[in-house]
Amino acid sequence: MTNSVQCVDAEVWPEGSLEVLSHFEVDLLKSSGTGGLYPLLRRCMLAVLNSGSSTDDTREVLEAYSDFEIGFIQQDRGLKISLKNAPSAAFVDGKMIRGTRELLFAVLRDIVFTHNDIFASGRFDLESAQGVTNAVFHILRNARILSLPAQVNLVVCWGGHAISRVEYDYSKLVGYEMGLRDLNVCTGCGPGAMKGPMKGATIGHAKQRIGDGRYIGITEPGIIAAESPNPIVNSLVIMPDMEKRLEAFVRIGHGIIVFPGGVGTAEEILYLLGVLLHPENHGHPLPLIMTGPPAAESFFRQIDEFVKATLGQAAQDRYKIIIDDPKSVAREMKRNLEDVLDFRKANGDAFYFNWRLKIDKEFQYPFVATHDSMQEIEISEELPAHILAANLRRVFSGIVSGNVREDTAERIDEYGPFQINGSERIMGLLDKLLTVFVEQGRMKLSGREYDPCYVIK
C-alpha cells in the first residue's frame, strides 16, 4: 500500500441480486479498455465501501484508495467478488456489513443492466423525451423500486451534503415527523441532508411499528465518490447521468422537501421549477416545501429572491417556505399528498411512477460541463421561463461538476475557471447568490478555502 488508510482483502457473495452473470458480462466488467466497465464499477463500488467518509474531494478519495481492486470468481453456485485493499469501515470483525453488501451488488446490478439493456440493446430511443422516460422507468423497475401495491407516501428530500450540524439535526427532526405519519423517504443517498431525513424517519417508523419503511437512494457515477451512500439506504439505484437521476426523483416522488444546501441543491430546485413551469404541467400537483432551522432562513430567502427575479411569480407559487417547524412541514406535506392522490385517481395515473408529468428534452439531454459548453449556455430574459430554468440548471450543474468531479477539476486546473455569460441583470443576481453560498461555506465539505471553478462575466 502507498497510502495510510486501513484496508481489507475479502471475497463477497451477492446479497439480494445478480447472483449469475454470463462469461461475456464478466469479461466486460473486467475490462478497462474501450467499452469496458471496470473503471465505472470500481469507482461506484469504492464509494459504497467508503460510506461515512468525511471528504467530498473525489480525487482525494481515489488517491487514498489507489490500490483498490475488484476481481470476479465464477463458481457453480454463482458469482463471487474479490476485493483487494477495500476500506476497512465496510467490515465488522472481518465480515462485510450486510447493508453494505446489498448496496455493493446493487451497483453491479445497475451498471450491468444499464449497459446491456439501456444503451447496447437499441431498445430505447434516447434522443426522444419518451424514450428517455421509458429508460428511466426500466432502470427503476429493474432495481425493484416500483413496487405494488403502491401508496402515495414517498417524499423526496433534497439538500446539501456539506450542511452544518444544526441543519443536519433539523433534517432529522423533519424525517422523524414524516416517519410518524407513515411517509417514506427518497434522497440522493449521501451524507448531510440526504442522511438526516432517513435517520429521523427510521425512529418515527419504529415508533409506529412500521417494519417496511423505504429509504431510497438515487445517485449517479459522477458524484457518487464525493457523496458515498449513507448506511441507512435500503434501496440504492445508480442512474447513468445527472439528468436521468433528476427525472427519477420527480417520477417516483409524490412530494419534495428541500433542506439547506449549495449549488447542487439550487440545481435541483431549478430543475423541478423548470419542469413545473412547462405549460402542459399547469395544475399538476407536486408539492414542494423548502425548510430549515432559523440559521438557514437567509439561504432560502436568497433562493426565493433569485427565483422571483429570474423565473417570476408563477415559479414562486409552486413552493412554500417553512422555517423552524418540523411538525408543520410533515403535516403540510401529508395534506398535499391527498391532492396528489386525488389527481392520480382522477387521471388514471400510476401511484408508483408519474407518467403524466411533461419533462421536456431540455431537461433530459445529458449536460457535460466543458469550457465551451458552459460558455454557450444562453441566459436571457427573452427565454420562456421553463427554458431559462433549464439553462440556469445547467450553469449550476457545471459548477457542481467543477467542485466534485475529478475529470472536470482536471480540465479547470489546465484551462482555468469556467466562463459564465449572459444577461447583465441575471449575471448580477447569479453572482450575488453564489457569493452567499461561498460566504456561508456551502461549496465544500473538506474544510479547505474554496477556490471558485467559475468566473461570471
Give the model confidence (pLDDT) of 74-99 as tens digits. Answer: 766 667 889 999 999 899 998 999 99
Residue ranges of the chain that CATH labels 3.40.50.450: 146-457
The C-alpha atoms of residue 396 and residue 402 are separated, in whole angstroms, by: 10
With beta carbons less than 8 A apart as the criterion, state whether 92 and 77 touch. Answer: no
The C-alpha atoms of residue 366 and residue 136 are separated, in whole angstroms, by: 13
With beta carbons less than 8 A apart as the criterion, state whether 351 and 345 touch. Answer: no
Rounded mean pLDDT of 313-327?
A: 97
pLDDT at 211 over 50: yes
Do strands 215-219 and 288-292 pair parallel, antiparallel, or not at all (unpaired)? Answer: unpaired
User: Which pLDDT score is estimated for 434?
Assistant: 94
pLDDT at 188 over 50: yes
Residue ranges of the chain that CATH labels 3.30.1850.10: 7-113
Q: In percent, how much of the chain has pLDDT > 70?
A: 94
20 pLDDT band, cuts 50/70/90, is: low
Q: What is the pTM of this model?
A: 0.93
User: Which pLDDT score is estimated for 149?
Assistant: 87
Greatest mean pLDDT among 11-20, 63-72, 110-119: 110-119
pLDDT at 126 over 90: yes
pLDDT at 241 over 60: yes
203 pLDDT band, cuts 50/70/90, is: very high
pLDDT at 377 over 80: yes
pLDDT at 3 over 60: no
Q: Right CATH number for 146-457 from 3.30.465.10, 3.40.50.450, 3.40.640.10, 2.40.10.220?
A: 3.40.50.450
Residues 6+ apart with CB under 8 A from 248: 136, 139, 140, 218, 237, 239
23-32, 256-265, 375-384, 416-425 — which is least confidently predicted?
A: 23-32
User: Which pLDDT score is estimated for 4?
Assistant: 58
Architecture of domain 7-113: 2-Layer Sandwich (3.30)
User: Which pLDDT score is estimated for 78?
Assistant: 67
Residue 361 phi, psi (nearest 5): -60, -25
pLDDT at 195 over 70: yes
Cell 444544526: give the residue: 166
Q: In percent, how much of the chain has pLDDT > 90?
A: 76
Cell matching residue 110 = 445497475
Beta-bridge partners for 154: 184
The C-alpha atoms of residue 142 and residue 98 are separated, in whole angstroms, by: 21
Q: What is residue 256's DSSP assignment?
A: E
Q: Residue 94: left (phi > 0), alpha (psi -120 to 50), or beta?
A: left
Cell matching residue 337 = 399528498
pLDDT at 446 over 60: no
- Per the prediction, the chain carries an average pLDDT of 91
